[in-house]
Structure 1
Amino acid sequence: MDILQDLERRGLIQQTTDREGLEKHLKENQVTLYCGFDPTADSLHIGHLLPITMLKRFQQAGHKPIALIGGGTGMIGDPSGRSTERSLNTAAVVKGFSDKIEQQLARLLNFDHGTNAAVARNNHDWLASMTAIDFLRDAGKHFGINYMLAKDAVTSRIEQGITYAEFSYMILQSLDFLKLYEQENCTLQIGGSDQWGNITAGMEFIRRSKGEEEIKVFGLTVPLITKADGTKFGKTAGGAIWLDAEKTSPYEFYQFWFNTDDRDVMKFLNFFTFLAQDELAALQTEVDHNPGDRVAQKRLAEEMTKTVHGEQAFQQAIKISESLFSGDLKKLTANEIEQGFKDVPTETIAKANINLVDLLVEASISSSKRQAREDIKNGAIYVNGERNQQLDYQLSETDRIEDTFTIIRRGRKKYFLIRFN
């Protein structure tokens, strides 16, 4: 199966220019392709994983991927898919974001070996040195206003208003395609379906600026991911799911994928993983006949956590999950507790022995001492996973995990974290 057939089978092609020509081009050549990543934050998020995975699929098929970091375009902001203009960051902030994103991409793509090793480029290298006159004479003259106004990224913003800076983004992205075509013989640009207008504009710009209609350049987009329940992919109550372990812990990352809806899990396995067809078929059978076992979700969470954070982080996420399920919390480390209990109510108190009743009141776990005593007597209070029914119990150093945390549970599911300092 060739690369395009595999992508189509997985449902990964939304739009492509000259499907037959692209297939022939890919069969006859080691094709250089690129996808752009604007540094709008200090980390990529899981919304970027699909285009990154696409670059990996082409790389595994023998082609050469370029990860283009938008150090220049990130100073402006892409209007595609947005109803308002982005906040503009300083050059120093964008440079810091760019460096961190390049480090993340280096962990996710093969930059090291082979004739098709991936490379990172930054469009700040050519956009920052371009003068206004260069921009208008060399690029702007090839873009008709009517042509630009017809693009979805522009038409969707006409009523709300669009600045000239945003309006010009299409030209900047087209310059990227031209520069990579000239410098790297890059002939294919990929991106989300919201990038279709920018991609086709870049192809047209290359042909116009070179004065050749038969230049072989192509565009391909992946579908924007939708979830069966109508909520936005990659968002939770706590915000975006980041690829940086400091912003979204490996445990949270694992749980996001594990909690995938049955209606979405096979789509995500096809989109994001490299599992063989026989294993995918077996997982589909599990979803159809044993959905409660969540075998497919576990496999998805395993693959994604290992891919982004590595084997050790995956094992740590499993350990936290199993400890929470079994109630055996004492075996967790302080770092694992911070991951697993990131979003639970937390109370910080001085490091000293404290009566359990007093602690329940001080941490607002129980509304009063009377209620605290009732909760203890009724067996509703657990200390580090163990039920405690002693009214006179004094929490001491032995109840502090790594001398830092005590986990209190009230009832079946209400967790509270006590941090001692």
Structure 2
Amino acid sequence: MNIVDELKWRGAINQTNDEDGLRELTTEKAISLYCGIDPTGDSMHIGHLIPFMILKRFQLAGHKPVIVIGGATGSIGDPSGKKAERTLQSMEQVQHNQEALKTQLVRLFGEDQFRLVNNYDWLSKLSLLDFLRDYGKLFNVKTMLNKEIVASRLEVGISFTEFTYQILQSIDFLTLYREQDVQLQIGGGDQWGNITAGLDLIRRVEGADAKVFALTIPLLLKSDGTKFGKSEGGNIWLDADKTTPYEFYQFWLNQDDNDVVKFLKYFTFLSEEEITALEEQVKAEPWKRAAQKRLAEEVTQFVHGDAALAQAQKITAALFSGDVKALSADEIEQGFKAFPSVTTTADKQNIVDFLTESGIEKSRRQAREDVSNGAITINGDKQDDLEAEVDPQAMFDGKFVIVRRGKKKYFLARVQ
């Protein structure tokens, strides 16, 4: 299947300037294509993952991905989709962000499997006069104002700095076309104006017959109409220090039946046959959540690797069964991040004293009742003896005590 047809089946094409021409070109030869990311933060989130999944699909189909880190454009800000100007970052912060993003991109695309370039390398060499003479004269202000990316900001205002962003991005495309034979730029749907401005610039400078293409990805919505990409706690980051692999795995595992097949098409490299089979399982046996499990496995492995996936699955199984003894202190830190947290001393205590003084139980009477009824589990062991002692240093490197009250109510007691 041609890559364009595969993307259409996956519902991953929003707009192209010439679908038939792109299909013909990608059938004839392996092309170079690019996607950009501005270093406005030190980690990508899963919203960024959407266009990079498309870039990865081209890579797996034998094409040559180029990724542009926007060291220059990231320092001034992209007006796309925002109601206010970006806060300008220091060049030191931009440099830090660039290095962090490079590490994540290498993990996704493989060492030496793609070209990583920085638009600061060419844009920083432009003088103001060169910019105005060589490029500014080729852009019509009326056309720029009509681009949705700019028009959406006119009522609240837009600085000249952000207004020029589409010119700078167009120079990126022209530079890559000239120097690395890049013929296709991909991006989110909100980037259509910027990308087509690049097409126009290349054709003005290199000739109307230049074979260059644009492809954007649809805005990804959930079945309830809300934008995909965030949890109740905010962004789902690709940085394991910001969103742990366990949290990342759980995000995908908890997707709705109405969304899971769409996300399998977008975020996994499973074949049409495999996804169709999972779709049938969703219809026939939704309680097994086979599609969600496969989605969580595939995306977590892609972003974090085999070891992190195995760890996320181990934590998930332990929390479901209540058998937490095999977890390490690091796994406890990951798995119990969202559960209620209390503090306790390192000293041994009677179980009733421990439960009440840590705040897990509101009263000694309730604590005695729950223990006597067998409702309290300490570090995976059920406790029904009112004279039992809790030793906070007995497990998990002396850092934590895991308490379960009833079947599902967990507490993480941090030892101080």
Normalization by structure 2: what TM-score? 0.96
Residue equivalent to 1:284: 279
* 1:29-44 matched pairs, under 5 angstroms: 29-44=29-44
Contact 2:346–2:393 (8 Å) recurs in 1 = no
1:150 to 146, 149, 161: 146
1:209 is aligned, of 205, 210, 214, to 205
Aligned to 2:165: 169
Alignment of 1:167-316 (within 5 A): 167-210=163-206, 212-316=207-311
**Cα separation, 1, equivalents of 2:358 and 2:128:** 61
**Cα deviation, residue 341, structure 1:** 0.4
3-state SS of paired residue (1:226): coil
State the 1:399 CA deviation: 4.2
Question: Does the 8 Å CA contact 1:37/1:70 hold for their aligned counterparts?
Answer: yes
Taking only the aligned residue pairs, the percentage that are identical comes to: 54
The Cα shift of 1:63 comes to: 1.2
CA contact (8 A) 2:221 2:228 kept: yes
Question: Counterpart of 2:44 in structure 1: which amino acid?
Answer: L
- Equivalent position of 1:4 in the other structure: 4
Correspondence 1:323 to 2:318: yes
Q: Does 1:337 align with 2:298?
A: no
| 1:33-72 alpha-carbon deviations (Å, 9 max, x no partner) | 0000111211111112221111111112221110111111
Runs (5+) with no aligned partner, structure 1: none
User: CA shift at 1:244, angstroms?
Assistant: 1.1
Q: State whether structure 2 residue 71 is matched by structure 1 residue 71.
A: yes
CA distance in 1 between partners of 2:311 and 2:264 (Å):
22
Instruction: Decide whether the 8 Å contact of 1:376 with 1:390 is kept in 2.
Output: yes
Q: What code does the residue aligned with 1:199 have?
A: I
Aligned partner letter, 1:71: G
Residue 380 of structure 1 contacts residue 387 of structure 1 at CA under 8 Å; is this kept in 2?
yes
Find out whether 1:369 has 2:371 as its counterpart: no
Amino acid at match of 1:39: P
Distance apart, 1:397 and its partner CA:
5.0
What is the alpha-carbon distance in structure 2 between the residues aligned to residue 124 and residue 349 of structure 1? 52
Contact kept? 1:35, 1:191, Cα under 8 Å: yes
Specify the code of the residue in structure 1 equivalent to 2:349: I
The equivalent of 1:27 in structure 2 is 27
Structure 1 residue 170, shift from structure 2 partner: 0.9
8 Å Cα contact 2:76/2:162 also seen in 1:
yes
- For 1:9, give the aligned amino acid: W
Q: CA RMSD, aligned part only?
A: 1.5
C-alpha displacement of 1:262: 0.6
Distance in 1 of aligned mates of 2:125 and 2:365: 72
Q: Tell me by how many angstroms 1:311 deviates.
A: 1.0
Which piece of structure 1 moves more, 237-246 or 288-297? 237-246
- Counterpart amino acid of residue 86 in structure 2: R
Shift of 1:398: 6.2
- How many angstroms apart in 2 are the aligned matches of 1:219 and 1:270? 21
Corresponding residue number in structure 2 for 1:96:
96
Deviations 1:83-123 (A, max 9, x none): 222222110001110111011111111443xxxx4110111
Distance 1:178 1:403 in 2: 59
Q: Partners in 2 of 1:9 and 1:111 — Cα distance?
A: 29
Question: Do the aligned partners of 2:351 and 2:390 also contact (CA within 8 Å) in 1?
Answer: yes
CA contact (8 A) 1:33 1:64 kept: yes
